[in-house]
Amino acid sequence: MMRPASDGQDVPSVTIAEGTPAPETVITAVWRSESVRLIAALVRITRDLSLAEDLAQDALVAALEQWPGDGIPVTPGAWLLAVAKRRAVDQFRQSQTQRRRLTELGHRLKENDMPDLDAQVDYIEDDVLRLIFLTCHPVLSPESRAALTLRLVGGLTTEEIAAAFLVKSSTMGQRISRAKRTLVESGATVELPAGRERRERLDDVLAVIYLIFNEGYAATAGPDWIRPDLCSEALRLARTLAAMVPDDTEVHGLQALLELQASRTHARTGTSGEAILLDDQDRARWDHLLIRRGLAALSRAEELGQPAGVYTLQAAIAACHAKARTAKETDWQQIASLYDLLSQAARNPVVEVNRAVAYGRAYGPKAGLAILAPLADDSVLAGSHLLPSVRGDLLALAGRSAEAAAEFRRAAALTRNERERQVLLQRVERLQL
Amino acid sequence: MRYMVLLRMDESAGAPPAELVGAMGDAMQQAFASGLMIDAGGLAPTAQSTEVRLRGGSVMITDGPYAEAKEVAGGYAILETRSHEEAVENARRMIAIHQQYWPGWEGAAEVRRISEPDEGPTAG
């Protein structure tokens, strides 16, 4: 049906029936799906993160006032942006004390910054990309980058982010405010970096998304419905980034890695919440839609022909597991050679331990133990259960049960995770001593 | 949360206008790019469908189309959302695009949550 929109133009709008669903929740959902593009466009126009957020909130208030009566506009994003821009101009006109800022803003509101709303669509992707470069800016700590990215790009509320990271709402609020202040004080600009800087800044963005995913992946013990699902949020960010930066192998590589890792979510914990290792997972419980998407993203990464970096290599390893219908069919030799490449790309003791596991499976426990040997005094691994538990695994494979049991016991004493400890002690019991 | 949105319409409405196809394509591309939509597809006409039904103790196999079915599913989308409302909003958008680009069209988007693997089967 046709209804006059608030600005008097005769455009069709959608009328929401009384009762179900409650208009306010629908309006909030509309706003949330538009908020990242809205804030991103406002950041470009005002060059002021806090102001952009305030203006976006003003637009939400206007929507809550007008849409229940007028219906939801056909292009809600354009409507919200038009309202926010009008507020911006009004605010600057009214404020005599901010005269100077008005002049500054006037400079910025050049013709090419104020395209008509249809043309605005063309700007949107770059706006969001600029915003994500800003929220992942190197002047911020990794935790602040994650929080600010979830707030402004993910569209989560401060309360939701606080719940996700298990901190108090007020603490998270302060962290976000401080991060915004740091951006202003450091003179961080809203930009699309080019050349070598682009590569470095993209790596920063990828690291933030990976951090958010791992925070969620590590914390999925037990059903917790209140805590937002950080894995899903990270996946969304990775997909968004891949759509915005389609020419970068690692961007697709990260998306592939996260889709593939997320595909195992329902298989990696048992009915009582205990961790289930990859070999023992029921592969029918893997999410085959996510596997298909992960493999497609990996193909896109590889088709670009750029050297594979750490995310693409890890995705390729995850793909080897995803493609094996049973644990026995796993191509461990392929995985071992991918770990060789990963080890060259990023030498790191944890990668070495995993490389040892792969070599143990592909070429026998001796090959694996040989890779572990130089890691005995590694400071990064000291105090972690990782090294003794993998060494125990390889020794068990080699039939050296007594030594394996000692390693498993050492690992059990080191782990801080109770369920992991139980799994390790069970392995001791299973050994034929 | 994962949702399936089924777009139901009267099959006799004929071929959609090119403008609708273009606008729906753009909207779907945007939904995929935002990470919200993870799969989508169109369903062939019910003239190519077959129903296998158990009734009164016997199994009946009937080829489509079915005169009694007014609205049939013509396409589906799989969404990963944070809330039911977010899924509804995406469905609303699809219908709003039909409203704008296909005058006289009537139909419905059915928003169904896909059960989590651990939820088990649910009764009705």
pLDDT, tens digit (0-9, with 9 covering 90-100), for B40-72: 999 999 999 999 999 999 999 999 888 888 899
Who among B33, B39, B99 is closest to A240 (CB)? B33
CA neighbours within 13 Å on the CB side: how many for A389? 21
- DSSP 8-state secondary structure symbol assigned to residue A225: S
Asked whether the beta carbons of residue B99 and residue A14 sit closer than 8 angstroms, the reply is yes
- B77 CA: distance to closest CA in chain A (Å): 13
Residue B122 lies in a domain: no
Who among B35, B38, B89 is closest to A240 (CB)? B35
Q: How far apart are CA A115 and CA A382, in angstroms?
A: 58
Residue B112 lies in a domain: yes
Tokens representing residue A404 in the block = 């394996």
Q: Is the CB of residue B18 less than 8 Å away from at least one CB of chain A?
A: no
Q: Do A335 and A289 touch, CB atoms closer than 8 A?
A: no
Q: What is the mean pLDDT of residues B85-92?
A: 92
Q: What residue of B is the nearest CA neighbor of A290? A: B38
Residue B39 lies in a domain: yes
Q: Which chain A residues have any C-beta within 8 angstroms of a chain B C-beta?
A: 12, 14, 21, 25-26, 28-30, 32-33, 72, 74, 228-229, 232, 235-240, 243-244, 266, 285, 289-290, 293
Residues 6+ away with beta carbon under 8 Å from A100? none
Who among B33, B80, B89 is closest to A243 (CB)? B33
Asked whether the beta carbons of residue B34 and residue A240 sit closer than 8 angstroms, the reply is yes
Looking at residue A116, its amino acid is D
Supply the pLDDT for residue A47. Answer: 84
Asked whether the beta carbons of residue B99 and residue A244 sit closer than 8 angstroms, the reply is no
Q: Sorting pLDDT into bands at 50, 70 and 90, what band is B120? A: low
Q: Is the CB of residue B104 less than 8 Å away from at least one CB of chain A?
A: no
> Which chain A positions have a beta carbon within 8 Å of B91's beta carbon?
none
**CATH code of B39's domain:** 3.30.70.1060
Q: How far apart are CA A257 and CA A293, in angstroms?
A: 10
Count structural domains, chain B: 1
* Phi, psi of A358, deg, nearest 5: -60, -45
Domain span at residue B32 reads 2-116
Q: Do A343 and A374 touch, CB atoms closer than 8 A?
A: no
Q: Do A253 and A312 touch, CB atoms closer than 8 A?
A: yes
Supply the pLDDT for residue A219. Answer: 64
Q: Among A124, A239, A268, A276, which would you mutate to test the B interface (most chain B Cβ atoms within 10 Å of its Cβ)?
A: A239
- A236 CA: distance to closest CA in chain B (Å): 4
- A415 CA: distance to closest CA in chain B (Å): 28
Asked whether the beta carbons of residue A236 and residue B34 sit closer than 8 angstroms, the reply is yes
> Which chain B positions have a beta carbon within 8 Å of A238's beta carbon?
35
Per-residue pLDDT 10s for chain A (433 aa) are 333 334 444 445 566 554 445 577 878 888 888 899 999 999 988 888 989 999 999 999 999 999 888 888 878 888 999 999 888 888 777 664 555 555 555 555 544 444 444 444 445 668 999 999 999 999 999 999 999 999 999 989 899 899 888 889 999 999 999 999 999 999 888 888 998 999 999 999 999 999 999 988 876 444 444 466 899 999 999 999 999 999 999 999 999 999 999 999 889 887 777 778 888 899 999 999 999 999 999 999 999 999 999 999 999 999 999 999 999 999 999 999 999 999 999 889 999 999 999 999 999 999 999 999 999 888 888 888 999 999 999 999 999 999 999 999 999 999 887 778 888 999 999 987 6
Supply the pLDDT for residue B45. Answer: 92
- B47 CA: distance to closest CA in chain A (Å): 28
Q: How far apart are CA B41 and CA B59, in angstroms?
A: 29
Residue B121 lies in a domain: no
Q: Do B73 and B6 touch, CB atoms closer than 8 A?
A: yes
Q: What residue of B is the nearest CA neighbor of A25? A: B85
> Which chain A positions have a beta carbon within 8 Å of B3's beta carbon?
none
Residues 6+ away with beta carbon under 8 Å from A197? none
- B86 CA: distance to closest CA in chain A (Å): 5
- B114 CA: distance to closest CA in chain A (Å): 13
- Computed on alpha carbons and rounded to an integer, the radius of gyration of chain A in Å comes to 26
Residue B123 lies in a domain: no
Supply the pLDDT for residue A335. Answer: 98
Residue B78 lies in a domain: yes
Residues 6+ away with beta carbon under 8 Å from B90? A33, B5, B31, B36, B37, B77, B79, B81
Supply the pLDDT for residue B76. Answer: 97
Q: What residue of A is the nearest CA neighbor of B95? A: A14
Residue B20 lies in a domain: yes
**How many pairs of residues across A and B have Cβ atoms under 8 Å apart?**
67
pTM summary value: 0.88
Q: Is the CB of residue B32 less than 8 Å away from at least one CB of chain A?
A: yes
Residue B51 lies in a domain: yes
Asked whether the beta carbons of residue A26 and residue B92 sit closer than 8 angstroms, the reply is yes
Q: How far apart are CA A39 and CA A84, in angstroms?
A: 10
